[in-house]
């Protein structure tokens, strides 16, 4: 059996960490908090490799996070994008 591989339209689910500003009596405190990621792979795809007729995902492929991250009673320290990029992927297909 071959190596697992991802392609355009595959669902991703993960957790990433965002630094949010938590209110405190001494002022806002930067605090890392986990946020879920869910979306379909739709960017940074291979131009010349297909899996089941659709472009293969590679290191650097991306997915739009749906729904986008929204602060929960806090605020993000920096603007947060709604697109997440893979840090690892298929090295060789």
- Of residues 61, 50, 65, the one with CA closest to residue 87: 61
Reported in sequence order, the residue ranges of the chain that DSSP labels E, i.e. its strands, are 11-22, 29-51, 54-64, 75-76, 83-85
Task: Specify whether the CB–CB gap between 84 and 63 falls below 8 A.
Answer: yes
Looking at the whole model, is its pTM more than 0.85? Answer: no
Domain hosting 42: range is: 1-63
Structurally, how many domains does the chain consist of? 1
Give the pLDDT band (50/70/90) at residue 92.
Answer: very low
What whole-number distance in Å separates Cα of residue 40 and Cα of residue 10?
Answer: 5
Structure tokens given for 73:
């009673």
What whole-number distance in Å separates Cα of residue 46 and Cα of residue 7?
Answer: 9
In a domain, 33, yes or no: yes
In a domain, 93, yes or no: no
What whole-number distance in Å separates Cα of residue 46 and Cα of residue 12?
Answer: 17
pLDDT per position as a tens digit, 14-72: 887 778 888 889 988 888 888 888 889 999 999 999 999 999 998 888 888 877 766 66
Give the pLDDT band (50/70/90) at residue 3.
Answer: confident
Give the pLDDT band (50/70/90) at residue 91.
Answer: very low
pLDDT per position as a tens digit, 72-81: 656 666 555 5
In a domain, 4, yes or no: yes
In a domain, 85, yes or no: no
pLDDT at 33: 82
């Amino acid at each position: 059996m071959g190596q697992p591989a991802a392609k355009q339209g595959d669902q991703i689910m993960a957790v990433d960490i965002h630094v949010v500003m938590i209110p405190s009596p001494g002022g806002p405190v930067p605090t890392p908090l986990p946020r879920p990621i869910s979306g379909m792979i739709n960017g940074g795809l291979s131009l010349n490799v297909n899996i089941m007729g659709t472009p293969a995902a590679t290191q650097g492929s991306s997915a739009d996070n749906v729904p986008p991250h929204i602060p929960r009673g806090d605020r993000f320290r920096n603007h947060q994008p709604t697109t997440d990029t893979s840090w690892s992927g298929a090295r060789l297909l």
